Amino acid sequence: MFGFIALNKPSGITSHDCVAKVRKILKLRKVGHGGTLDPLATGVLPIAVGKATRLLRFFPENKTYRALIRLGVQTTTDDLQGEVVKSQPASMLTLKQVEPLLHQFVGTIQQTPPIYSAIQINGKRLYDLARKGKLIDVPARTVYIELIKLVGWSPGEFPELEVDIICGSGTYIRAIARDLGTMLNTGGTLAKLTRIESCGMHLSESISLRQLKEEVEKGSFSLISSDIALQHLNKITLSEMDEKRWLQGQKITQDLLPLSVSGVVRVYQPEDKLLGIGNVVEFDNYQILSPKVVLVDK
């Protein structure tokens, strides 16, 4: 089996749990996921099957989330799974006060990850250190947020703000909720999170674990092709002679490759079968195509 699954992850289990369940359903060991979702979160979890696991690192980085942020509450984990450390009614807040602050999160920003996260410091996961009660100075890191769009506002004792967020990899939505609450001096935490797009896969096209099992049992299940998952990469089709060289791991030098492109590309054989991923480097009068991932045995 070779291809991808747009899995609709349920709340309450880890991304690793999802991979384990897919392995069991497909009766296949070689399964991986592209981009961890917190246990509380739901939505698109890209799953790679077979040799397609080698292609996960070439997926597009941007992801789209729908987040519900609760103000007036602060927790240890920056979401509702954690212990409440601060709770104060924030009924005085208005959307007019809150919405302008969202713009401060857009662009390239410095973000401090939650102390309960999978980031490693000195070989130790932050969540392991946090559970042991160890205070760690978590360094900020650079993340990119393309857009934060207001979806809804619910006033009340603990008002809730619903937003859509388009961001690059490594961004913690929980940290946005926490930092917004800090700006408002009320505290804030993530109440709900759904990933609606990831790696070019959309929530509307995703399937649940139950649906996956039913389709596999009926024999109607089919994987998402690499063409859909990697369509953001330019495509190069090799001649039969160059195909043989490619499968041997050789670099291909030509005055002009089939497409005048540079960077990471999809590489195909004449019959339009994916051979793997390559990298094109341009020089003055020619280009060099180097293999990065070869999927087909020579």
Task: Catalogue the active-site residues.
Answer: 38
d(CA 248, CA 61): 30
d(CA 120, CA 137): 12
Q: Is 18 helix (H, G, I), strand (E, B) or coil?
A: helix
Contacts for 277 with CB less than 8 Å, ≥ 6 apart: 55, 58, 233, 264, 265, 266, 267, 291, 292, 293
Burial class from Cβ neighbours inside 10 Å (0-12, 13-18, 19+) for residue 74 reads buried
- Total count of residues recorded for the chain: 298
Q: Is 79 helix (H, G, I), strand (E, B) or coil?
A: strand
d(CA 62, CA 146): 9
Measured at the CA of 102, the angle between CA 101 and CA 107, to 5 degrees, comes to: 120
**How big is the chain by its Cα radius of gyration, in Å?**
22
H-helix segments, the chain: 15-26, 95-98, 126-131, 173-184, 209-218, 226-229, 240-247
